[in-house]
Amino acid sequence: NGRIFAAKAKGAPLALSWEQSLLQYDYWVIVKGSPNKENAAKFLAYISRPEPQATFAEAISYGPVNNDAFKLVPKELLDILPGAPELAKKQVFQDYDWWNKTGADGRTNYDVALQRCVALLSQ
């Protein structure tokens, strides 16, 4: 959505539907053995606060990881930020457990879907 709204702001004739769109989780991590673990932890603590998350959401329309950030962004952005309270009512959380389930053939649902997509795109 971030790239779509950036292109739309430049005049591209695009629209986005939030009906049944997927909400996904992302993670910040500190890799085991990182040489600067203490500062990395401080950075993660800072960047996860509502204020930096709101600033980030204003720069590119990606939903913040801290729900309190929604209270700080301009009201007009609430119509374009994934996970915003009203939009979240229309959205569905990505079911990672389902994608990772293994079928009788030993393949995950993800692998099956990927194979189908590749086959379709190869036609």
Give the per-residue pLDDT at 42. 97
> Residue 112 — very low, low, confident or very high, per pLDDT cuts 50/70/90?
very high
Q: What is the 3-state secondary structure (H, E, C) of 45-103?
A: HHHCCHHHHHHHHHHCCCCCCCHHHHHCCCHHHHHCCCCCHHHHCCCEECCHHHHHCEC
Give the per-residue pLDDT at 13. 95
The pLDDT tens digits of the residues spanning 16-75 come to 888 988 888 788 899 999 999 999 999 999 999 999 999 999 998 889 999 999 999 999
Give the per-residue pLDDT at 64. 93
pTM for this prediction? 0.75
Q: Where are the domains of the chain?
A: 2-90, 95-123
